[in-house]
């Protein structure tokens, strides 16, 4: 890989107008700008979504006189809202475009974030955390928007980078929120009762800034407005008739050469018809281009099409492992600071939170690793099935790491933090590997599929959080249960082929 690809304008697939590299460091390029706002929009959303747990162990719990069960219930409700909105936002992305849906989710979640200072009791906290949970749904438009701008040779890496850096917001918040709280108490002289409330003003400002930037500086698709996305099909047809050497995009998204045809740049309809009649291979190549591109253009979803996507075996193959990987991450992220504080009480709330932040921050490296490795395997083999087996491997490995933590319940900091780092690698890589496969499956309904798979991640988080809720502070026992579930679920869906029979695009 050339390092300059990180800032150079990417090569563009002339057929679908998608980028074939990721200009991570170039927000002035339209593809780089999409990457920037999608990534940091999700990061800020995740930071705000998980802004409560770092201060919940002592400060908020003590100020509002919460019981352990009320703390656990608030964690569950934050996930319930996200699940519901993810299911809704997926079809909306297919209908109105991911950019507008992304900005809408951020603006909707900014309101309850700003109202955090008004909470005075447990019911108020539960209600607020439910509505702040809307921000977690930003993941779906993040991935759908990315899939629309990056070609299949790099889309797994793009999706994983965006989600990995974004998920790191769950780790960054463990640094930012306690630091803000400590500064407001020590430097500004605020009481703890006021300080934690004022701290929530910062996430609100960040959310609003990103949402407005998304609305004013970004595009819906590589061809412009969402309503113009079908222009890709016209471009594909025109491209096949104006080049000296015919080009075609195969189902993997790669451009390959068809036999050379001496075709003038402009032809009348009669002349074009004669060329096609005299050379059937030329006509077939032209039709293949249009057919493949047409099959991968997102269409306005119908109820029947949505049901076909939702109840397909391939949707189950992606959704079940994601319920384990992302669901496990959400549930463990909510209790990890408290788990550290239990096993190492001398660390206190702030230091326990900082060590817990490692679990979320490692997303920056490990979730992209899952997507990048999936893309490398795909480019080497041109097989989506290899991506699937990579997903199953990391999914089972995360289960093994959970079992190790649960059985050992380490009382040594080195052992505990080392095992959690190992768990983070496999869990985050499984998340990245999963959404490296999603763009290949039902590409005409990417929003619906992304929404369902994303929502099952929250469903898994709810299930695991409920298990934590009914086991009190027996965190090791629940993590062991999560490990057994992860292995069983991943093995049970390993037989499902990744591409539906008869699907034209996406391979």
103: which DSSP letter? H
The number of C-alpha atoms within 13 Å of 333 and in the hemisphere containing its C-beta is: 37
Q: Per the domain annotation, does 499 fall within a domain?
A: no
Q: What own/partner pairs with CB < 8 Å and gap ≥ 24 does 30-34 have?
A: 30/218, 30/219, 30/222, 31/149, 31/150, 31/222, 32/7, 33/217, 33/218, 34/145, 34/146, 34/149, 34/218, 34/219
DSSP 275-315: HHHH-HHHHHHHHHHHHHHHHTS--PPPHHHHHHHHTSHHH
Co-location of 151 and 242 in the same domain: no
74 lies in a domain? yes
- Shared domain check, 203 and 66: yes
Q: What are the tokens at 360?
A: 């979320």
For residues 355 and 438, membership in a common domain is answered with yes
Residues 279 and 139 in one domain: no
- DSSP-derived pairing of the beta strands 245-249 and 255-260: antiparallel
Are residues 275 and 257 located together in one domain of the fold? yes
Residue-wise pLDDT tens digits, 118-158: 999 999 999 999 999 999 999 999 999 999 999 888 989 99
User: Could you tell me if 200 and 116 are in contact, meaning their C-beta atoms sit under 8 angstroms apart?
Assistant: yes
Is residue 27 located within the same domain as residue 119? yes
Q: Which two tokens stand for residue 487?
A: 């292995």
Decide which of 275, 295, 315 is a domain's last residue.
Answer: 295
Check: CB of residue 249 under 8 Å from CB of residue 255: yes
CATH number of the domain where residue 121 is located? 1.20.1250.20
Q: Assess if residue 504 is contained within a domain.
A: no
Q: Would you give per-residue pLDDT tens digits along the chain (507 residues)?
A: 578 888 899 999 888 889 999 999 999 999 999 999 999 999 999 899 889 888 887 899 999 999 888 888 888 888 888 999 999 999 999 889 999 999 999 999 999 999 988 999 999 999 999 999 999 999 999 999 999 999 888 989 999 999 999 888 877 887 889 889 999 999 998 999 999 999 999 999 999 999 999 999 999 999 888 887 766 555 555 554 544 344 434 434 443 433 333 333 444 434 444 444 444 444 444 445 555 555 556 667 778 888 888 999 999 999 999 999 999 998 998 889 889 999 999 888 778 888 888 888 898 899 999 999 999 999 999 899 999 999 999 999 999 999 999 999 999 999 999 999 999 999 999 999 999 999 999 888 888 999 999 999 989 998 998 899 889 889 999 999 999 999 999 999 999 999 988 776 666
List the domain range (segments joined by +) for residue 253: 230-295
> In terms of DSSP H, where are the helices of 121-247?
122-132, 139-149, 155-167, 169-186, 192-199, 201-217, 231-242
Neighbouring-strand partners of residue 245: 260
On whether both 263 and 311 belong to a single domain, the answer is: no
Query: Is 306 inside a domain boundary?
Result: yes
In a shared domain, residues 317 and 171: yes
Same structural domain, 403 and 466: yes
For residues 326 and 226, give the distance between their C-alpha atoms in angstroms, rounded to a whole number. 30
Structure tokens belonging to residue 213:
């930037």
Residue 30 lies in a domain: yes
Q: Is residue 314 part of a domain?
A: yes
190 and 251 belong to one structural domain = no
Query: Hunting for tokens 């909306």 — which residue is that?
Result: 92
For 214, the token pair is 């998304």
Q: Which of 266, 295, 324 is the last residue of a domain?
A: 295
Do 170 and 83 fall into the same domain?
A: yes
Contact between 176 and 126 under an 8 Å Cβ cutoff? The reply is no
Let me know whether 271 and 414 are in one domain. no
- In this structure, is residue 243 part of a structural domain? yes
DSSP label of 150? B
Q: How many CA atoms lie within 13 A of 489 on its CB side?
A: 26
Where among 248, 269, 295 does a domain terminate? 295
80, part of any domain:
yes
| Rounded Cα distance, 172 and 489, in Å | 30
Q: Spell 102-113 as b/e; 16+ CB within 10 A means b.
A: bbbbbbbbbebb
Overall number of domains in the chain: 2
Closest to 80 measured CA to CA, from 23, 29, 132: 132
């Amino acid at each position: 890989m050339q390092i300059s690809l990180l800032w150079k304008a990417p090569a563009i697939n002339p057929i679908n107008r998608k980028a074939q590299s990721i200009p991570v460091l170039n927000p002035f390029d339209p593809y780089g700008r999409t990457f920037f706002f999608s990534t940091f929009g999700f990061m800020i959303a995740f930071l705000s979504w998980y802004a409560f747990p770092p201060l919940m162990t002592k400060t908020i719990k003590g100020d509002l006189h919460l019981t352990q069960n009320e703390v656990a219930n608030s964690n569950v409700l934050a996930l319930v809202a996200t699940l519901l909105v993810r299911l809704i936002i997926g079809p909306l992305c297919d209908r109105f475009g991911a950019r507008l849906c992304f900005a809408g989710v951020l603006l909707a979640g900014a309101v309850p974030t700003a109202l955090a200072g008004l909470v005075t009791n447990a019911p108020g906290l539960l209600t607020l955390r439910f509505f702040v949970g809307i921000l977690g749904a930003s993941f779906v438009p993040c991935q759908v928007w990315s899939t629309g701008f990056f070609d299949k040779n790099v889309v797994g890496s793009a999706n994983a980078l965006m989600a990995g850096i974004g998920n790191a917001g769950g780790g960054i918040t463990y640094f930012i929120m306690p630091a803000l709280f400590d500064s407001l108490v020590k430097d500004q002289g605020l009481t703890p009762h006021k300080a934690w409330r004022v701290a929530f003003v910062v996430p609100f400002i960040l959310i609003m800034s990103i949402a407005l930037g998304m609305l004013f500086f970004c595009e819906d698709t590589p061809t412009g407005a969402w309503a113009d996305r079908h222009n890709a099909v016209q471009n594909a047809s025109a491209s096949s008739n104006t080049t000296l050497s015919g080009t075609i995009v195969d189902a993997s998204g790669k451009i390959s050469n068809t036999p050379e045809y001496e075709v003038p740049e402009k032809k009348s309809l009669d002349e074009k018809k004669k060329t096609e009649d005299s050379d059937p291979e030329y006509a077939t190549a032209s039709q293949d281009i249009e057919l493949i591109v047409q099959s991968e253009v997102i269409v306005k979803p119908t109820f029947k099409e949505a049901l076909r996507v939702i109840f397909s075996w391939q949707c189950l193959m992606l959704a079940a492992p994601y319920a384990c990987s992302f669901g496990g991450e959400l549930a463990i992220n909510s209790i990890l600071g408290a788990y550290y504080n239990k096993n190492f009480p001398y660390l206190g709330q702030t230091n326990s939170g900082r060590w817990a932040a490692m679990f979320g921050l490692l997303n920056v490296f490990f979730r992209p690793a899952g997507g990048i490795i999936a893309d490398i395997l795909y480019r080497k083999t041109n097989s989506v099935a290899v991506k699937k087996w990579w997903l199953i491997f990391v999914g089972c490995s995360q289960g093994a790491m959970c079992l190790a933590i649960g059985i050992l319940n380490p009382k040594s900091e080195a052992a505990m933090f080392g095992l959690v780092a190992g768990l983070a690698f496999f869990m985050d890589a499984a998340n990245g590997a999963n959404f490296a496969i999603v763009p290949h499956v039902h590409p005409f309904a990417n929003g619906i599929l992304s929404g369902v798979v994303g929502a099952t991640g929250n469903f898994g988080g709810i299930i695991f959080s409920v298990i934590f809720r009914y086991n009190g502070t027996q965190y090791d026992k629940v993590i062991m249960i999560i490990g057994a579930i992860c292995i069983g679920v991943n093995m049970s869906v390993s037989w499902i082929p990744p591409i539906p029979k008869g699907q034209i695009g996406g391979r």
